[in-house]
Amino acid sequence: MDMVKNKTRIVMFEFFGLTDDEDLVPFLFVFFLLVYMVTILGNVGMMVIVHISPSLHAPMYYFLSYLSMVDLFYSSVVTPKMLSDLLSKRKLISFIGCALQFCFFAGLASTEVFILSSMAYDRYVAVCYPLHYVAIMTKKKCQGMILTAFLISIVQSTSSTSCMFTLQYCGPYLLDHFYCDIPPILKLSCSDTRSCDILTVFFVCFCTVSTLTIILVSYTLIILAILQMKSTKGQQKAFSTCSSHLICVTIFYVTVFITYLQPSSSHREKQKKVASVFYAMVTPMLNPLIYSLRNQEVKRAILQLLQKHEHEY
């Protein structure tokens, strides 16, 4: 009996990939290679600018540097493998490799939403309690919020990974996706997946509902505070400090909801794959671009660094 189980124990998964249209492959490879290169440059650049610019040594940019770090690793968990698969006839990944990819991807995605909610709270304090901002958003408090985000994410990702990858998989082994994710993996299991389904729903609801509640409450209070301001210039300044973050939050949550909270169907599966591309690869590229193009302090810091570099040479 044990020998039969060992023979049927899965050692490899095979991805369906982004497309089965061979004519699209060269375009997709070049496009996503450029996206990944911009992601690396944008996020590394953002971390460096925040680190070396004294004007950006504030809680908002402390969170932003961690968001850039998470985006960099988050994209790197999926994109290099997907790029190599575009050039391969068979898109294989080992069982252990799939478990590791999912564990890191799920953990980093959870960390991202908690950092985004921390940034929303930071903006709330900045707009509603500007005189007490420094006293409330202390270095110790910011570090505690980041540490909490990572700890919750580690618990979530290890629990989900342990549940999913201790199930039995008896074949077929074709994952209708381009990376290891919950729905396509559970579809292939020949075990009872109810416990994993419940665990998934719990963590998705906990992470999204808790962070989204913080974001919505923070921005509701921010909007009320902005409307009470008598100065139009003050309103514009307050809104400009929040707009970059609000755009990043909207893009991320909309694509996540499309991917995980829509009922399954053949037509919607394609939509979900497109949404997955967006939040797994495009969003990590957009975040630093949005902040560098829309945030006046970041633009000013970049210009100062460029001018300093020109004077040195």
Residue % of the chain over a pLDDT of 90: 42
Residue 167 or 306, more confident? 167
Nearest CA among 6, 36, 5 for reference residue 281: 36
Model confidence band, residue 288 (pLDDT cutoffs 50, 70, 90): confident
pTM: 0.88
Alpha-carbon distance of 59 to 65, in angstroms, equals 10
pLDDT in tens, 78-110: 999 999 999 888 899 999 999 999 999 999 999
CB 118 within 8 A of CB 165: no
User: Element (H or E) spanning 230, and its range?
Assistant: none
How many Cβ atoms from other residues are within 10 Å of residue 26's Cβ?
11
Task: Provide the CATH topology of domain 9-312.
Answer: Rhopdopsin 7-helix transmembrane proteins (1.20.1070)
